[in-house]
Structure 1
Amino acid sequence: MGLKLRLSILTIALCQTFFANAASVNSKIEVITVTGDRFDSSPDQQLTVINTIEREEITRLNPKSVVDILETLPGVSVTRNGGAGQSASISMRGTNSGHVLVLVDGVRIGSATLGAVSFNALSPENIERIEVVKGPRAAIWGSDAIGGVIQIFTRKLDGGEWFATAEYGSDAYTRASGGVGISHGDGSTTISLNREQSDGYNIKNDNEDDNDGYRRFGMSIKGQQVLNQQWQLSWVGQLETGNYEYDSSRANEADYDNYLWNLAAQYQHNKLNSRLAVSQSRDHNENFRADNASLGRSLYQTTRDQINWSNSYTATDNLTFIGGVDWSQESIMGDYAIDQRDLLGFYALTRYQVGKLLLEGIVRYDDVENIDSETSYNASLGYQFNPQWRIAFNAGSAFKAPTFNDLYWPDTGNAALMSETSNNMDLTLHYDGNYVDGYISVYQNKINNLIEWAPNGQIGSDGYEIYQPANIAKAEITGVELSLNYNTWGIEHRLGYSYVDAIDLRGDTPLVGRSKNEFDYALGYSWTAVDLFVNYHYQGKRNAGDYNYDNATDYLASYNQIDMSLGYKLTESWQLRLKANNLLNENIISDHNYFSPGRQVFFSVSYQEY
């Protein structure tokens, strides 16, 4: 897409904001989130930026990976090593990919060895909603929440409800999915299944010229049972298993087999709400060469046992206390000097409202076995000018504990590492009217003790310096984030823009992998049996480091991507959907030498009984 077309889209979208008051009445839907403080709260009770994506929008997006959903949000940047089935990473507000905590139904997921989350293993069809909290939230959740928190909630159907979908598309893509809600007294259980595969395409510019396909199977179980007026039980189970091919000199294929389960009991009486949850998650990934299974075979496995006790006490209409205890044990498989550690955290939150002023304070203490303990905090102040306008100021700290690979990888681990730490401030102006809602947020995040590979002053037997992970880097990230949603004449509009200035303070140079500008514009329209959803994403050029080794900074080119989804309801239950990705067939590269797919088209048929 040329510059003129980009400017035209931006101009049209901005001009339409001036006509928002002429729109038809836009009925407001009450939004309740839990990720900000662990209990059901409305956004105006939480003094932080929270984006939510509901099932209806996920259906219209018809994504092929979870990162397809997340990339539509301002302040969230995606780096892909290929298409939907390949590995991908998330950066939030310019922080590292390991600085984002990811939860599924309250359960922490991801690898304790690599410090990464397998987004490619998650099935979008099994997701009910996603909540994304921007900024540090370690004071609530503990390690990793430096840039923000992503919580994924699995599908939930009432008894007697069910759905089924079949889809076919480019690169021999096929998908079959379905789910059913089962009633049992004062409770119900949802079972969702998803099976998909694709022959793929050649994802990398190298000597291995072949198609890199994938297959995955996902199953989720989610239920609850009301015992009496005070007690309720809930349970969650999820299994994700599959395989994906990629290009590498040592290994070119991987199998994964990940699962999680969570059992919880909740007590609610008068002013007290208390919840005790026991859970376990496993991240299992095995890499190998398809033509020589014994060459380059490697196994990464993390098992994480967790116990969480959370409590909320509403002392008065204006005063709330929240607090609890988190315990987890991480166990890994491999030849490590230490292959297990315990983590223990205590947190407390106080929220108090005085007239139009809302104050919130959070403090948390974390003890990570064999690592220095950390104390995190959040201090927030909000002022409600009137029913539409609100301003909020946040100051907070966060940390990320070193991974097992950083600490104990054979021959190169550094057991003396400290946690990476950060201090953040942000100021956000919110507006929520009948036809328009949005926010603009300005933030600064200073991160210290960043872990990077560096020479340790010793010489190996081969005569070269020995490198180890070390706490040697520091960064300063300054940014602006804008979100605007409005309706004009029955057309939904959503704009998102983020500016990120991420600097490596050691040499006052830009951090690798970031782009200063990203812009999103989505348009949705429904008319009788037809719905149309168009999404435009602009990714500015990215600093790619010096991959040519010529002592000069290299950049990945900026790109424009337009996706379209068109749905048609044959009846109240039957629906057809046509989805087209990368309509302009742009050459999209978000990581050096790795290509995203060109233009793709998908067609699905679905039935739902609600």
Structure 2
Amino acid sequence: MRSSFIALSFVLALTAQAARAEESEAAPITVLATGSEMPIDQSGQAIAVISTADLDRLQGTDLVRVVEHLPGVAFARSGGIGSQTSLFVRGANAEHLLVLVDGVRLNDVSSPKGANDFATLQTGGIGSIELLRGSNSVVWGSEAIGGVLAVTTREINGVEASAEGGSHGTFSGNAVAGLAGDRGAISLSGGYDRTDGVSAARAGTEPDGYEQWRVAGRGRVDLAPGLSVVANARYARSRTDYDGYSDIDFSPVDGPFYQITRQFTARAGLRYRSDIVDLDAGYSLSDTRRDNYDPTSATPFQYGFAGRSQRAELTGRLHLPQNFALDFGADSERQTLPRGGAGSPHSRLNSAHALLGWYGERAQIAAGLRVDDHNQYGSAWTFGANASVRLPADLRLRASYGEGFRAPTLYELYDPTIGNVAYQSFGFSALRPERSRSYEAGLEWGSRDRVFAAISLFRRDTRNLIDYFSCYGVNTPACDAANAVGYFGYGGIYYNADRARAEGIELEWAAHPSSTLAVQMNATLLRARDRNKGGFNFGKDLPRRPFATVTGSIDWKTPLAGLSLGADTRFRSESYNDAGNFTRLPGGMIADLRASYALTPKVEVYGRVENLFDAYVPTVAGYNTWGRAGFAGVRVRY
């Protein structure tokens, strides 16, 4: 394994030395730094963009497999594709990553922590992905302690369709159609994915499948010069089979259970652009419902959860003289648990922010404040700043500082299964909001379309982290109250677990020595630890955060017209499955091979082999992963 990485590094060195000194293209555009469009190389924060071409090149429906190629990213999945999946950015908890789809927040209000389950988000219909690593709560609010991931669906003028099939009875079909003109644009997309899967439990033999169908649309109508009406909507219905637990040691075992998840997101608003001010106003809705079933029971429906977020917002940028700009915004969000009975549990968060920046040709600096006013926790202020400066020898130095704030979720405050009953006696009402401070410094060299290298150093200190304590077998006044209403006679308590620290180094390296060859490599060294002095786990690693992750890819357009070949490697080191560091998760490397061939300018066939060496690299103890698998498909554009 070590020799494979040495060989890859050697190839990278050769290609970097051979790179041509050609004119660079414009830097990718991002909205994650300030909320307004700007080139990535003007931000003091670490941002990566995955384009439509990258998604087509990497192939497949698994969004996590694509995002895993970026530095600072690790994940945990309880089984094969479609199983519950959490994404960790720079060691942050899954709920600390804000996920946006066409500007709508996808974080699941119905889940205990409010994190997004990436099992239900596939690549079909997606046009681009942006990932900001590190805190940016000034612009994006309470969920952005660890980062922001923004997904944008495809907007085209024409028709695109693809279909692929392969191992484990897997099939994926997607189609996008759109019209674009001088006065507006509209696009519609739809897709269907299914797989027989593998057993979610490592010790099981019964395959656990996954199925999803989805539909999405977005449109724009120009009312006047610079003024447009914009709208988008997405609906997805997923069914996921999952396994149960042993009554003896609680290890995963075969089971007939399945979950139906329904997600609906929508946003409508106005957009205005001028030389003086840019404005975006809108209303968005995100609704998630998860129902769990046991088909062997006399009453198959077992339990379910539902969460809804409604958000009104106004953001903008004021273009000031002398290269200054003021980004600002105000928003109001209401979250509810619709199944909580009369007077369903709800919360209200009102926020406002301002970010003043100077964007010169060779240097940029921005700083801002945000105030969040929560109906239960009062007001909280957060501060953030970042800077970037171009140095000689094609170098760019950047640095940032950000503070974060996250209020307890409705699930952490209320029991959604027994109605609108606050857990006052359990201490839930005494929960304190989570707070964080993030620091980052980075040095970049070159341009992203020729030879590019970057190193980033980061640290994040988080306090008042909210955790869950199981009251199984524990008799205290608080646990007695929790056990009285918990499932099967026992429950648990949410509490503030105090402090954690994540710090590390990210390395990025990409080379394009010619128009036919591209090589990329990313590496992250991370140390994420419990810093709660006096606690049982002080100094121990946070669960499921590998110390080292390395990804590499090589793409070659062969001399045979239309034929392209590619290879990917993804390595993760050992980690621990639990906060007490009792169960170790083995590390390993997964390698993929890819190929595509353009039959005509509009028709392309492609195929890949995932996990070429059939490696078992678990991310959750006791759960299975896909072994070697092959897929083939066709893509058509008109």
Q: How does 1:15-34 map to 2 (within 5 A)?
A: 15-16=13-14, 18-21=16-19, 23=20, 25=22, 28-34=25-31
Q: How does 1:430-449 map to 2 (within 5 A)?
A: 430-433=444-447, 435-449=450-464
Of the structure 1 ranges 141-150 and 520-529, higher mean CA displacement relative to structure 2 is found in 520-529
Q: How does 1:175-214 map to 2 (within 5 A)?
A: 175-183=172-180, 186-206=183-203, 209-214=205-210
TM-score normalised by the chain length of structure 1: 0.93
TM-aligned CA deviation for residue 552 of structure 1: 6.5
Asked if 2 retains the 8 angstrom alpha-carbon contact of 1:113 and 1:403, the reply is no
Determine whether 1:531 maps to 2:557.
no
Of the structure 1 ranges 348-357 and 57-66, higher mean CA displacement relative to structure 2 is found in 348-357
Aligned-partner Cα distance in 2 for 1:277–1:421 = 28
Determine whether 1:586 maps to 2:586.
no
Determine whether 1:43 maps to 2:40.
yes
Aligned-partner Cα distance in 1 for 2:595–2:360 = 48
**Structure 1 pair 4/59, CA: closer, same or farther in 2 (3 Å)?**
same
Determine whether 1:569 maps to 2:598.
yes
TM-aligned CA deviation for residue 420 of structure 1: 0.9
TM-aligned CA deviation for residue 182 of structure 1: 2.2
Aligned-partner Cα distance in 2 for 1:404–1:366 = 17
Determine whether 1:516 maps to 2:542.
no
Identify which of 262, 268, 272 aligns with 1:263: 268
Aligned-partner Cα distance in 2 for 1:109–1:348 = 24
Question: Which residue does the alignment assign to 1:345?
Answer: 351
Of the structure 1 ranges 433-442 and 511-520, higher mean CA displacement relative to structure 2 is found in 433-442
TM-aligned CA deviation for residue 5 of structure 1: 3.0
In structure 2, the residue corresponding to 1:19 is in which secondary structure? Answer: helix
Aligned-partner Cα distance in 1 for 2:453–2:331 = 34
Identify which of 495, 500, 524 aligns with 1:475: 500
**Structure 1 pair 293/436, CA: closer, same or farther in 2 (3 Å)?**
farther
In structure 1, the residue corresponding to 2:499 is in which secondary structure? Answer: strand
Letter in 2 for 1:478: E
Question: Which residue does the alignment assign to 1:485?
Answer: 510
Q: RMSD of the alignment, in Å?
A: 2.3
TM-aligned CA deviation for residue 185 of structure 1: 5.5
Q: How does 1:375-524 map to 2 (within 5 A)?
A: 375-386=381-392, 388-409=394-415, 414-433=428-447, 435-454=450-469, 458=478, 460=480, 467-489=492-514, 490-506=516-532, 507-524=538-555
Aligned-partner Cα distance in 1 for 2:634–2:93 = 39
Asked if 2 retains the 8 angstrom alpha-carbon contact of 1:251 and 1:296, the reply is no
Determine whether 1:600 maps to 2:625.
no
Aligned-partner Cα distance in 2 for 1:525–1:496 = 19
Of the structure 1 ranges 403-412 and 103-112, higher mean CA displacement relative to structure 2 is found in 403-412
Question: Which residue does the alignment assign to 2:372?
Answer: 366
Letter in 1 for 2:220: Q
Q: How does 1:59-98 map to 2 (within 5 A)?
A: 59-98=56-95
Aligned-partner Cα distance in 1 for 2:339–2:617 = 37
Asked if 2 retains the 8 angstrom alpha-carbon contact of 1:372 and 1:419, the reply is no
**Structure 1 pair 571/421, CA: closer, same or farther in 2 (3 Å)?**
same
In structure 2, the residue corresponding to 1:596 is in which secondary structure? Answer: coil
Asked if 1 retains the 8 angstrom alpha-carbon contact of 2:332 and 2:350, the reply is yes
Deviation by residue 1:461-494 (Cα, 9 ceiling, x = unmatched): 7899984211132111111011111123431011
In structure 1, the residue corresponding to 2:320 is in which secondary structure? Answer: strand
**Structure 1 pair 493/328, CA: closer, same or farther in 2 (3 Å)?**
same
TM-aligned CA deviation for residue 9 of structure 1: 2.8
TM-aligned CA deviation for residue 371 of structure 1: 2.3
In structure 2, the residue corresponding to 1:373 is in which secondary structure? Answer: strand
In structure 2, the residue corresponding to 1:44 is in which secondary structure? Answer: helix
**Structure 1 pair 18/35, CA: closer, same or farther in 2 (3 Å)?**
closer
Question: Which residue does the alignment assign to 2:249?
Answer: none
What residue ranges of structure 1 are gaps of 5+ in the alignment? none
Asked if 2 retains the 8 angstrom alpha-carbon contact of 1:113 and 1:405, the reply is yes
Asked if 1 retains the 8 angstrom alpha-carbon contact of 2:336 and 2:344, the reply is no
Letter in 2 for 1:460: D
Asked if 1 retains the 8 angstrom alpha-carbon contact of 2:43 and 2:386, the reply is no
Of the structure 1 ranges 92-101 and 384-393, higher mean CA displacement relative to structure 2 is found in 384-393
Question: Which residue does the alignment assign to 1:135?
Answer: 134
TM-aligned CA deviation for residue 457 of structure 1: 5.8
Of the structure 1 ranges 327-336 and 62-71, higher mean CA displacement relative to structure 2 is found in 327-336
TM-score normalised by the chain length of structure 2: 0.89
Deviation by residue 1:375-417 (Cα, 9 ceiling, x = unmatched): 1111222221148211112111012221122111265571221
Aligned-partner Cα distance in 1 for 2:510–2:26 = 14
Determine whether 1:282 maps to 2:287.
yes
**Structure 1 pair 85/393, CA: closer, same or farther in 2 (3 Å)?**
same
TM-aligned CA deviation for residue 357 of structure 1: 3.5
TM-aligned CA deviation for residue 295 of structure 1: 5.5
Asked if 1 retains the 8 angstrom alpha-carbon contact of 2:438 and 2:461, the reply is yes
Asked if 2 retains the 8 angstrom alpha-carbon contact of 1:181 and 1:190, the reply is yes
What residue ranges of structure 2 are gaps of 5+ in the alignment? 246-254, 533-537
Aligned-partner Cα distance in 1 for 2:384–2:353 = 11
Aligned-partner Cα distance in 2 for 1:467–1:167 = 44
Asked if 2 retains the 8 angstrom alpha-carbon contact of 1:251 and 1:287, the reply is no
Letter in 2 for 1:499: L
**Structure 1 pair 210/467, CA: closer, same or farther in 2 (3 Å)?**
closer
In structure 1, the residue corresponding to 2:411 is in which secondary structure? Answer: helix
Of the structure 1 ranges 128-137 and 426-435, higher mean CA displacement relative to structure 2 is found in 426-435
Q: How does 1:180-329 map to 2 (within 5 A)?
A: 180-183=177-180, 186-206=183-203, 209-249=205-245, 252-292=257-297, 294=299, 297-329=302-334
Letter in 2 for 1:431: W
In structure 1, the residue corresponding to 2:65 is in which secondary structure? Answer: helix
Asked if 2 retains the 8 angstrom alpha-carbon contact of 1:362 and 1:378, the reply is yes
Asked if 1 retains the 8 angstrom alpha-carbon contact of 2:357 and 2:367, the reply is yes
Identify which of 525, 542, 546 aligns with 2:575: 542
Deviation by residue 1:233-285 (Cα, 9 ceiling, x = unmatched): 11111111121101025871011111111112112222111111111111111
Q: How does 1:137-176 map to 2 (within 5 A)?
A: 137-158=136-157, 161-176=158-173
TM-aligned CA deviation for residue 132 of structure 1: 0.3
Asked if 2 retains the 8 angstrom alpha-carbon contact of 1:408 and 1:415, the reply is no
Question: Which residue does the alignment assign to 1:9?
Answer: 8
**Structure 1 pair 476/17, CA: closer, same or farther in 2 (3 Å)?**
farther
In structure 1, the residue corresponding to 2:315 is in which secondary structure? Answer: strand
Letter in 2 for 1:282: D
Asked if 2 retains the 8 angstrom alpha-carbon contact of 1:65 and 1:119, the reply is no
TM-aligned CA deviation for residue 49 of structure 1: 0.7
Deviation by residue 1:117-162 (Cα, 9 ceiling, x = unmatched): 121212311100000011101110111111100000011102xx11
Letter in 1 for 2:216: S
Aligned-partner Cα distance in 1 for 2:43–2:607 = 38
Aligned-partner Cα distance in 2 for 1:566–1:266 = 41
TM-aligned CA deviation for residue 50 of structure 1: 0.5
Asked if 1 retains the 8 angstrom alpha-carbon contact of 2:427 and 2:478, the reply is no
TM-aligned CA deviation for residue 561 of structure 1: 0.5
**Structure 1 pair 405/269, CA: closer, same or farther in 2 (3 Å)?**
same
Aligned-partner Cα distance in 2 for 1:519–1:608 = 34
Asked if 1 retains the 8 angstrom alpha-carbon contact of 2:288 and 2:308, the reply is yes
